[in-house]
Structure 1
Amino acid sequence: MSIAGEGFMKLIGYPIKIKQFHNTEKINEIFGELHIDNLIESDEPKMYINEFQTGPISDKDLIRFGSYQVLVYKETGLETIVTIISLDAKEDSNELFGFGEYFDEDVIADTNDLNSLKIEYGFTPHVKSLTSLDLSTYLNIMDKIIEIDKKPDEYDLAILLTIPFMTEDLEKRKDLIYKTDEITSKLNISDKHVFIDIKNHQRLLAQQVLDRQQLEKFKRDSKMLSEEDLHKLDMYEKQVIQEAKLKELLENAKEEVKEEVKEEVKEEAMEEGKVLGEVKVVERLLEDGFKVEDVLKYTSLNKSQIAALANTIVLK
């Protein structure tokens, strides 16, 4: 199950069939520290870029998202829709972000192609505000599912995972974390893996919102969790932390390697410059009539190297 799967896409207004999730590594390499959160190809076919935004959306963000859109369009040739899933915006919006402003020329160097794209393919960021979703409506949907004992589908589960984000009030969000935990315990979820996955999402959200004491209480009181389930969640939490640490270590290692390579290149360049300087001195001596044996006294070049230079001078 994925928070950005078909159920979630339907929730934010795109009832699509997902053909595949695309690997964003190639595009992310271009942008360095910045990266596309989620890239989906639908059966239509269209490309969907989803960006999850926790703070205000700045013009700099829009320029970056526009650059993502142009790159994906150039790479795939498919209509590309950028959606910003916002926890800060008060309402949805679909406003055109001016022509000629949305791309980053440092990222996309082909100006001619870029200009044609600019005219053909303007950038309209679709902002979907989770706080503008009607919380009471979706809580009622959950109550109805429980009442009729319906097995929840992916759309229902997307609603369940998104409910705490449907308010910007921090205290209310805390209450909704407990509420969705209670709802989860009443849902007809027969698939153990899906259940654990839901709990993973809920627990990770709880870590972001609850203080330490509240979090420990939440872990203890979390409904329908056996000791085995709790152990799995603990292992999952440790794995997330380890992966984050590993990523940090890899980034640090990359930087160290870059610095080492820079130093090596610098040393090689200095050495090469030193050798080239000696070559010029040797050539001047040979041109002035010095013999190979005499030149040996003034350089670190060996006899065969000096002889080769002497032959070159003769050929000139």
Structure 2
Amino acid sequence: MSKGYPNFYDRMMKNIASYDLKSFFLFFGLDCIPYFSIANEVVDGGLNLSLLDLPVCTSKGIVNFEFQFDRDEADDRRFIRYGVQLYEKYGFPVMSVVIDFKAQEDEPFPIEISKGCVFTIYVKSLNERNPDIVLNNINDKLAINEKPLGKDLTGLKLLPFLDLDRKIELLDKATEVLFSLDKNLVGLREIKHLMRVIMFYSHQWNYEENLDRLGRWSIMVDDLSQDAVVHFGKVNRKKGREERSYEVARYMIDDGFSAEDVSKYSRLDLSIVNQLMLMK
């Protein structure tokens, strides 16, 4: 695994969850309606500050998500403390949900705090969510031009995490679905977010080939072409901005774009673009 992978995992989960809380809740089978995320800072009696992963105000109180790569007993005790602190801060019932990277199945995990007093942590397993079922649900809907559900698209964004042994294969499949999405069916905002998620996976796992595929594809999509250079220039820093601009220009020239459009989107001077066209 890549160095810093647990931190990457946390960031990705928060990004995907925060983008569409309702669909995230549905994907993990939570039967309450999320309203909005709340401040993730709590302070104990000794004024020690703790940062929670993602507390959310819902129709049934507060749901506190914790995203765990390696969970142990100390973590579970910490989650109990978070629940108490959230209750003391807001006065609402608190449900602790742990999205556990390594758990094999969903399970309520009761912990006895004292005699007759039990705190339950609800563990949700990524391994229990079958990536092939997620893909089939989406492809079946797309085949009949039916809009995928929000929880389907959330599953698509989480796809490489659902089976790490197949992460690159699943990343490829998620990319193929992205390329087949119709903005009139799922919306341009959803397509842009899915593109960024796939781009982040590709960057983390040094999958340069997929970054190039995403770059070429985004240039060809009218509503994505204007910010394609910005996105892929930032992600692929090691290639350098100038080299990326030349690559973008060559792809566009090969695909028949005008010199003015190539100059605009590659950010190369028009005279340079004209020279590249003469050299083609």
C-alpha deviation, 1:31, in angstroms: 5.2
Correspondences of 1:83-122 after superposition (within 5 Å) = 83-100=97-114, 122=118
Runs of 4 or more off by more than 3 Å in structure 1? Answer: 25-32, 234-239
* SS, match of residue 50 in structure 1: strand
SS of structure 2 residue aligned to 1:88 = coil
Query: Which of 165, 182, 186 is residue 180 of structure 2 equivalent to?
Result: 186
The equivalent residue for 1:234 is 232
CA deviation after TM superposition for structure 1 residue 141, in Å: 0.3
Structure 1's unaligned 5+ residue stretches are 101-117, 240-316
Structure 2: give runs of 5+ residues left out of the alignment.
1-13, 220-224, 238-280
Q: Tell me which residue corresponds to 2:162.
A: 166
1:30: how far off? 5.6
Q: In the alignment, is the contact (CA less than 8 A) between 1:38 and 1:51 conserved in 2?
A: yes
Identity of aligned pairs, percent?
A: 21
Q: Distance in 1 between matches of 2:66 and 2:60?
A: 20
Q: Deviations over 1:56-86 (max 9, x none)?
A: 2111111111111111111122111111111
Residue 30 of structure 2 is matched in structure 1 by 14
Greater mean alpha carbon deviation, residues 61-70 or residues 90-99: 90-99
Q: Distance in 1 between matches of 2:200 and 2:210?
A: 11
Matching residue within 26, 35, 38 for 2:54:
38
- Does structure 1 residue 49 correspond to structure 2 residue 42? no
Which AA in structure 2 matches 1:68?
A: Y
Q: Is the 8 A contact 1:11 1:158 kept in 2?
A: yes
Deviation at 1:126, TM superposition (A): 1.0
Could you say if the C-alpha distance between residues 80 and 144 of structure 1 is closer, same or farther in structure 2, counting changes exceeding 3 Å? same
Q: What is the DSSP-based 3-state SS (H/G/I as helix, E as strand, rest coil) of the residue aligned with 1:85?
A: strand
Alignment equivalent of 2:92, drawn from 78, 81, 86:
78
Q: Is this contact kept in 1: 2:142–2:148, CA < 8 A?
A: no
**CA 1:79–1:236: 2 relative to 1, 3 Å:** farther
**Greater strand share, 1 or 2?**
2
How far apart in 2 are the matches of 1:14 and 1:126?
10
Sort the Cα spacing of 1:236 and 1:19 in 2 relative to 1 into closer, same or farther, 3 A. farther
User: Partner of 2:161: helix, strand, or coil?
Assistant: helix
TM-score by length of 2: 0.68
Q: How does 1:128-143 map to 2 (within 5 A)?
A: 128-143=124-139
Equivalent residue letter for 1:89: A
1:3 aligns with 2:8: no
- Which letter maps to 1:218? N
How far apart, in 1, do the equivalents of 2:26 and 2:160 lie?
Answer: 18
What residue in structure 2 maps to residue 216 of structure 1?
A: 208
C-alpha distance after superposition, 1:77-121 (max 9, x if no partner): 211111111111122221212214xxxxxxxxxxxxxxxxx966x
SS of 1:123's partner is: strand
Mark the CA change 1:143 to 1:79 in structure 2 (over 3 Å): closer, same or farther: same
Name the larger-Rg structure. 1
**What secondary structure is seen at the aligned counterpart in 1 of 2:124?**
strand
* Partner Cα separation in structure 2 for residue 84 and residue 165 of structure 1: 15
RMSD: 2.7
Shift in Å, 1:16: 3.0
